[in-house]
Structure 1
Amino acid sequence: MALCYIDGKYLQPSGCFIPVTDMAVQRGVAVFESIRIYGGRLFAAREHLGRLAASAERAGISAAEILQELPGIISVGLGLGGCPSDGLVKPYITGGDVNAKGIFPKPRFFVIFDEINKTPEEERKRGAVLEPNRTERPFPLCKSTNYLFGLMPLKGESSKHESLYMPDGEITESMTNNFFLCKEGKIITAPAGRVLDGVTRSAVIELARADGFTVEERCPLESELKEASEAFITGTVNEVLAVTRVGGAVIGDGKPGPISARLYKLFLENLERRLS
């Protein structure tokens, strides 16, 4: 069951439309967020909506009025019968029909309240496989809807969780998650500013440091994959998920390790304080 808010109404998604003239369709101009719902409550809603505002600004979308409306729209939607109690709230802001040389003054928006495809337990037990993607993510600080360059390397292979951006021998982030590599007792991850500052990423870094781990914010190198004891990704859907292979490189002993297991446990234990 899912709902969509559009043009002042909450409807089934199949009854919601935007015109083919919208810049989201014509030029891929749109930004969005995915906010996790746990038991009818939102995870880090303020951080997600703040990041949506920053993405809209970077994309040149004039979204101030929309951003003021969104908290109320989301609050009402959470209380409706069609909204899943464990799922995702996904607000989208499109470029609308007017392109003023990279400024989009008349945007559209809609909000989807959707079920979530949780990480399968089998994948949690064996660890995720990532496919190398040796390009740089375009405009990584803007959470846009354009995932084409992340999807292209997968070529429909169901065994691959997603692609991993690895430009010029550096590892930045995966298609929908932040990437962490564990080496010599340290947890290494690309710095915010080089990659999108994931909301789950920030929570996990905070929890790791409070638990005594050393977190080094720099881009891990592709050459360090063979030296890593383990690796993992973090994100809204996957939370904390071990990575056991990147392309042909097996990570550690090829099994999920104790650091990712510990951080996943800490993340779940500390969910309550980030829910609203």
Structure 2
Amino acid sequence: MSGVQRWVWRDGEFVRWEDATVHILAQSLQRGSLAFDYMSVHEARRGTAVFRLADHVDRLLGTCDLMGLPIAYTRAELIEGCAAAVRRNPGSKSLKISALIPSIEAELVPQDPRVGVFICAYDVVADVIEQHGGTPRWGNALSLKVERSITNRRPDIIPPQAKMAANYTSAMFAKWRARQEGYDEIVLLDTDGYVAEAPTSNIFVAGPEGLVTPPEQKVLHGITRASILELAGALGLRTTVRDLTVDDLHAAAEVFLTATSVGVWPVVRIDGLAVGDGAPGAVTEELRTAFARIRCGEDADFEHWLHYVA
């Protein structure tokens, strides 16, 4: 741990970080039926704030509805639970809410379908990564591998819009292999061979068409993705939503990923080949800087995206 005692909101009460557990035979642990969402926490101009908290809670509830998880909490209760978790854990930079079936079950369909909710506010580096002796893998730029053997989440199995634990398993193993090959990240293709997304982030290219990103029907409805599309419009940048080919990626002047954990993340190499001149491009840097200012409360036009917890 970071040296600070962390507390986890569990069904309306706080328990110690180390006590926020479920049984090894819990239905969601055995079957992957856990819905979650992940948010960023910032020390902004007016105090501690969660970026687009209500939108993240709405997405969690949407996942539960999509997958049939009978979550009993209201939107307002979950928003307040998230805010309370941040207040209870000073210095937090990340916020994760999980909805799961904790009961011990023998069959695929649970006899006890009660959904428990856990909300964790923490510093992902100090409280998690450094506890394993590691360092963060998100630097100023990254190398990307196009994953050609495993496709993106299939909508006829689990829709890509669902943030369910089971939806990340195949991508996890593909990314693990790519890490062993020296890459930082992978990008997945859809079943038609078009570019979809990275396992936990959306992808953009910048060039003569302005910004281009794949259609939302094929990808997770990234809240950072939606924010960047809106921000780009405010900055006068043209945006296009259309199918992208692998050739589009290789020919792009700039490529970047968007995610809650990293904001705007420049891609400088794809499949071992340099993107543009091999350095983060001007459009990427403009968006990254502007987005960072928004999350710190330094842009009044977008301050409504910040949910202050005090």
Scaled by the length of structure 2, what TM-score is found? 0.80
Separation (CA, whole Å) in 2 of partners of 1:90 and 1:63: 16
Say whether the 8 Å CA contact 1:62–1:104 is kept in structure 2. no
Secondary structure (helix, strand or coil) at the match of 2:58 reads helix
Partner of 2:25: 21
Which of 161, 172, 185 is 2:184 aligned to?
Answer: 161
Name the structure 2 match of 1:141. Answer: 161
Aligned to 1:266: 290
Q: Is the 8 A contact 1:226 1:252 kept in 2?
A: no
CA distance in 2, matches of 1:200, 1:206: 10
- 1:133-184 Cα shifts (integer Å, max 9, x gaps): 2312242110112322112123243843322112343111111111001232
Deviation by residue 1:3-29 (Cα, 9 ceiling, x = unmatched) = 312244323322221123322111100
Question: d(CA) in 2 for partners of 1:15 and 1:22?
Answer: 15
Task: Give the Cα–Cα distance (whole angstroms) in 1 for the partners of residues 124 and 238 of structure 2.
Answer: 32
| Corresponding residue of 2:300 | none
Q: Which amino acid aligns with 1:141?
A: Q
Matches within 5 A, 1:23-102: 23-39=27-43, 40-65=48-73, 67-80=75-88, 83-97=89-103
Contact 1:84 1:115 in 2 (8 A): no
The CA distance in 2 between the partners of 1:121 and 1:141, in whole Å, is 25
Q: Which runs of 5 or more residues in structure 1 are unaligned?
A: none
Alignment partners' CA distance in 1, 2:234 and 2:77: 36
Identity of aligned residues (%): 24
Name structure 2 gaps, 5 residues minimum: 127-134, 298-302
Q: Name the SS for the 1:65 alignment partner.
A: coil
1:14 and 1:223 map into 2 onto residues whose CA distance is 47
SS in 2 for 1:208: helix
Check if 1:207 corresponds to 2:215. no
Q: Deviations over 1:92-138 (max 9, x none)?
A: 001343778599842122111111349969821xx211222231224
Contact kept, 8 Å, 2:92 with 2:121, in 1: the verdict is no
CA contact (8 A) 1:165 1:174 kept: yes
Match of 2:146 in 1: 132
How many residue pairs were aligned? 272
Query: Within the alignment, does 1:10 sit opposite 2:14 as a pair?
Result: yes
Mapped partners of 2:289, 2:52: distance in 1: 18
Greater CA deviation, 129-138 or 112-121? 112-121
How far 1:260 sits from its partner (Å)?
Answer: 0.6
Q: Compute the TM-score of the two structures, normalised by the length of structure 1.
A: 0.89
The code of the aligned residue for 1:114 comes to: Y
State yes or no: 1:107 paired with 2:115: yes
RMSD, matched Cα: 2.6
Counterpart pick for 2:258 among 214, 217, 234: 234
